[in-house]
């Protein structure tokens, strides 16, 4: 194993540079290849082959000269062991690498090269597998580097030219052709297409984009060409922010792991001291020879066995291997954690607070009913509304146009369009006056006999917490000849919101409470429809912060899920803050402890299950590591004192085998089942 404290630190705040080009990467030298994880694995296999050959030739075939194979195995293991130990000593550290090399050398010195060879073989093998496992946990996320395009087609001096993606400046226009990756974060100014965001957000289906929609760096245009305006340079893109988060997550350690790291060197020195003390007690207290004819009579042999068994290899890697595996698994499912502490806190969550607009809902209205008043034609009035709103940019206008397109309604041709700020839009259709907006503004276009009925319908809609927009059209010279309708709209609920409360309840998370600045009627409608336990409406950010503070006094932790903008104070104050569906929003990445990169809430119960499984895995790892040290350590001392010793080879296998088991147990988290809509599998906790 390799001591984690010698891993190179990367400043979390430093910008992520683009990966070097092939021309910039020099071919690794011979030493680099030899001491790479795969080179170390090859060395371990070679040492194992020599060791096995020596055992077969010496023990089974009784070839006396076969002992040279043990020394060959020991020499191969020493190549890797001495290098690691030398690095530690250069840094003035006495760590596990030094301890293992000393143990192997002493075993060989007292005439047991096969024991030293076995130790270094397993030590080298476990170190290689650990590093390969660590590489695997990083691979899913580091592959994001490959998503960043190197070139872009940009409009400069009236012509489309190829340019370096990193040279793009805010405001420039780029073209993204079918099959190409979006070079930087940008907003569509021309065209409609489908964008594949699966590599970043985990969404399985492409997202339809049109004018005004934002595109994220690294996503793929699957259909028609798009023209888009650059929103931010490549180094400030969503992808770069995500990579910064990944670096920060890798560098953060949980408090328990920090304590282990601090105690690693003192503990190693303590093990050396205990081993030396054991040798002295066995020699002068029990009268055993330094090196006996059998292991039972050798003080040095007993001390070496204890030294190896008490080494904390498995204990040191118990937490970081599980944490890195869980972070990598979450990233593959479109969830970014800012470190192991976030996972640990999420595992303890017992209640959840959610924002409404932008979290439980998309934060934009959707027209779901055209309610005609009296004899009016709903489709015809939807065509009028779409025609009046053809060039408007506000969310209600977009909802009306989208509804008309979905229902195959062609927008009416409107002339003399006039927009009255904060009231509505007026126009002329085939000589008739048409208006859309609030009841007071549109009333002149509503036939006199329908006005009272229109107000009643609008009142009922608003009582239910929905949005009501009135559209009317009438003859200019006849106030009773016309039509009217109320367009009923509501904010669209996110995928997974309907089942969220029941899934969280199944995990023992309760209450699930909504905190919103919206009006009480709308909040009540959403809370009841989603089965939430409680809701608070008409709140300011300071009110949300106060409520979260009050809930933190209860048993367990409080998670806050928000959109990262007006929820930033509550996200920061919670035991764990989770931002959703906004990979381009800096506030979400900075204020939250975890970020959901897609629009679905199905991932929320899933990450709680993953966090709890990670906690269980770490607990099992620590129990295994401590158990091996205590049980085999006591057995070594008691057995030797009673002249029924634990063989050094058994101590080696127990020690290094425990390390391998910890790594393999942690890697099981990479196979954690993906989020499944509406299903709450056993969390294994």
Extract the tokens encoding 252.
């953060």
Sheet with 173-176, strands from edge to edge, namely 159-164, 151-156, 173-176, 226-230, 186-190, 214-215
Distance CA 477, CA 678 (A): 57
- Phi, psi dihedrals of residue 573, rounded to the nearest 5°: -80, -25
Extract the tokens encoding 434.
């048409």
Distance CA 200, CA 223 (A): 19
Distance CA 345, CA 557 (A): 7
Write the CB contacts of 219 (distance below 8 Å, at least 6 apart in sequence): 181, 182, 195, 196, 197, 199, 200
Question: How far is it between the farthest Cα atoms of the chain?
Answer: 122
Exposed/middle/buried for residue 668 (C-beta within 10 Å: 0-12, 13-18, 19+): middle
- Whether the bond between 511 and the residue before it is cis, its omega within 30 degrees of 0, is yes
Write the CB contacts of 264 (distance below 8 Å, at least 6 apart in sequence): 3, 5, 95, 96, 312, 316
Extract the tokens encoding 93.
């550290």
How many CA atoms lie within 13 Å of 556's alpha carbon, on the beta-carbon side? 13
Q: Which residue has the tokens 């006396």?
A: 64
Extract the tokens encoding 622.
């620590």
* DSSP state letter for 7: S
Catalytic residue selected from 95, 355, 491, 575: 355
* DSSP state letter for 407: T
Question: Does residue 213 carry a catalytic annotation?
Answer: no
Nearest to 204 by CA among 584, 609, 589, 675: 675
Active site residues: 355
């Amino acid at each position: 194993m390799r001591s984690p404290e010698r891993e190179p630190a990367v400043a979390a705040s430093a910008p992520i540079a683009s990966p070097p080009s092939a021309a910039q990467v020099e071919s690794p030298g011979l030493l680099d290849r030899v001491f790479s994880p795969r080179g170390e694995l090859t060395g371990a296999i070679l040492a194992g082959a020599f060791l096995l050959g020596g055992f077969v030739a010496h023990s089974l075939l009784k070839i006396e000269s076969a002992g040279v194979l043990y020394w060959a195995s020991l020499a191969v293991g020493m190549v890797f062991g001495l290098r690691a130990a030398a690095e530690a000593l250069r840094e003035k550290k006495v760590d596990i690498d030094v301890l293992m090399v000393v143990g192997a050398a002493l075993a060989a010195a007292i005439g047991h090269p096969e024991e030293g060879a076995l130790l270094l073989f397993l030590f080298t093998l476990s170190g290689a597998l650990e590093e390969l496992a660590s590489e695997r946990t990083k691979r899913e996320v580091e592959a994001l580097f490959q998503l960043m395009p190197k070139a872009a087609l940009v409009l400069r001096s009236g012509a489309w030219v190829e340019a370096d993606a990193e040279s793009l400046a805010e405001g420039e226009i780029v073209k993204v052709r079918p099959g190409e990756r979006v070079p930087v974060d940008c907003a569509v100014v021309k065209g409609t297409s489908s964008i594949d965001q699966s590599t970043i957000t985990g969404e399985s289906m492409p997202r339809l984009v049109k004018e005004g929609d934002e595109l994220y760096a690294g996503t793929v245009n699957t259909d028609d060409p798009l023209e888009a305006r650059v929103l931010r340079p490549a180094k400030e893109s969503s992808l770069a922010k995500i990579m910064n988060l990944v670096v920060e997550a890798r560098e953060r350690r949980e408090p328990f792991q920090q304590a282990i790291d601090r105690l690693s060197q003192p503990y190693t020195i303590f093990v050396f001291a205990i081993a030396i003390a054991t040798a002295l007690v066995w020699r002068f207290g029990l009268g055993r020879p330094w090196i006996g004819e059998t292991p039972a009579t050798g003080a040095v042999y007993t001390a070496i066995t204890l030294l190896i068994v008490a080494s904390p290899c498995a204990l040191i890697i118990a937490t970081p291997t599980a944490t890195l595996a869980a972070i990598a698994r979450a990233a593959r499912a479109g969830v970014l954690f800012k470190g192991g502490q976030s996972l640990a806190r999420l595992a303890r969550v017992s209640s959840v607070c959610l924002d409404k607009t932008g979290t439980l809902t998309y934060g934009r209205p959707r027209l779901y009913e055209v309610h005609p008043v009296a004899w009016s034609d709903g489709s015809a009035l939807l065509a009028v509304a779409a025609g009046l709103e053809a060039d408007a940019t506000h969310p209600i206008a977009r909802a009306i146009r989208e509804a008309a397109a979905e229902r195959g309604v062609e927008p009416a041709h409107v002339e003399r369009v006039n927009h009255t700020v904060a009231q509505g839009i007026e126009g002329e259709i085939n000589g008739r006056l048409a208006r859309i907006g609030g009841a007071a503004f549109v009333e002149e276009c509503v036939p006199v006999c329908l006005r009272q009925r229109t107000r009643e319908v609008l009142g009922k809609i608003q009582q239910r917490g929905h949005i009501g927009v009135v559209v009317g059209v009438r003859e200019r010279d006849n106030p009773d000849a016309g039509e009217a309708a109320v367009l009923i709209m509501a904010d669209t609920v996110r995928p997974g919101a309907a089942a969220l409360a029941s899934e969280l309840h199944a995990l023992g998370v309760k209450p699930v409470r909504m905190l919103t600045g919206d009006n009480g009627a709308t909040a009540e409608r959403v809370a009841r429809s989603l089965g939430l336990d409680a809701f608070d409406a008409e709140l300011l950010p300071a009110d949300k912060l106060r409520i979260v503070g009050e809930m933190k006094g209860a048993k367990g932790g409080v998670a806050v899920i928000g959109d990262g903008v007006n929820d930033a104070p509550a996200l920061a104050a919670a035991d764990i803050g989770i931002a959703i569906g906004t990979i381009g929003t800096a506030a979400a990445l900075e204020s939250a402890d975890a970020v959901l990169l897609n629009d679905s809430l199905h991932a929320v119960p899933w990450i709680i299950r993953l966090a709890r499984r990670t906690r269980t895995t770490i607990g099992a790892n620590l129990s295994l590591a401590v158990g091996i040290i205590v049980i085999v350590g006591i057995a070594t001392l008691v057995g030797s004192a009673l002249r029924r010793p634990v063989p050094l080879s058994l101590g080696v296998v127990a020690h290094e085998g425990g390390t391998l088991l910890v790594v393999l147990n942690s890697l099981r988290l990479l196979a954690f089942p993906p989020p499944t809509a509406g299903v709450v599998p056993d969390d294994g906790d």
